[in-house]
């Protein structure tokens, strides 16, 4: 029987907040907002999971890094390389309450947090086995939040996207991502 609740924090990393390699407007505000949410609601969650892009430094990560000019659709500038400042959490995010860390994109594209693993090899789906509800927050609404939310819908009974705590690359695709998630069964809060 599934009972618990989890918070999934998607990719609130230096390279995805303002000033980063793929900085998203509003990213730093999302980091601060998530920290405030955790200060008020951490006890409401049985687990708090944070995902991070954690790309290899010595290859193109299966075409994820553009060899020349990126198209910003299927390939991107170099970002979130493992063990670099860009891959670290934004300093505005309080990581103290985080109970599990998932790294994704290790040698691959890795948009969904469900493609990642913990340092001991557990998948996100395995972590969420007994979870009834997952609240999703983070960056970017139109990419990794969307992909993580769609995958969560296959594993968790109740998926909620907390829209005050997400930031997208662009308004139109972010709204389209939220509409798609709602149409597939997510609750947009």
Percent of the chain with pLDDT strictly greater than 90: 81
How far apart (Å, rounded) are the C-alpha atoms in residues 65 and 105? 11
The catalytically annotated residue of 11, 15, 90, 155 is: 11
pTM, entire model: 0.95
- Find out whether the peptide bond into 140 is cis, omega within 30 degrees of 0: yes
Percent of the chain with pLDDT strictly greater than 70: 98
In the residue annotation, 28 being an active-site residue is answered as: no
The catalytically annotated residue of 103, 104, 142, 151 is: 104
pLDDT tens for 48-98 read 999 999 999 998 888 888 888 888 888 888 899 999 999 999 999 999 999
The catalytically annotated residue of 142, 144, 151, 155 is: 144
Mark residue 110 as left, alpha or beta (left: phi above 0; alpha: psi -120 to 50; beta: remaining). left
**1 pLDDT more than 70:** no
């Amino acid at each position: 029987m599934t009972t618990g609740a989890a918070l999934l924090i998607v990719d609130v990393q230096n390279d995805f907040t303002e000033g980063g390699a793929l900085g998203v407007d509003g990213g730093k505000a999302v980091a601060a907002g998530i920290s405030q949410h955790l200060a008020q609601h951490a006890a409401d969650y049985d687990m708090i999971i944070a995902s991070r892009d954690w790309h290899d430094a010595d290859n193109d990560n299966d075409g994820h890094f553009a060899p020349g000019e990126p198209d910003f659709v299927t390939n991107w500038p170099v970002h979130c390389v493992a063990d670099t400042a860009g891959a670290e959490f934004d300093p505005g995010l309080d990581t103290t309450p985080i109970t599990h860390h998932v790294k994704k994109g290790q040698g691959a594209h890795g948009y969904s947090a469900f493609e990642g693993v913990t340092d001991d090899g557990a998948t996100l789906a395995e972590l969420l086995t007994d979870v009834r509800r997952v609240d999703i927050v983070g960056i970017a609404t139109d990419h990794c939040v969307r992909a993580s939310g769609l995958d969560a819908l296959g594993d968790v009974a109740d998926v909620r996207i907390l829209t005050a705590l997400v930031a997208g690359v662009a308004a139109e695709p972010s709204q389209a991502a939220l509409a798609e998630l709602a149409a597939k069964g997510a609750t947009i809060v």
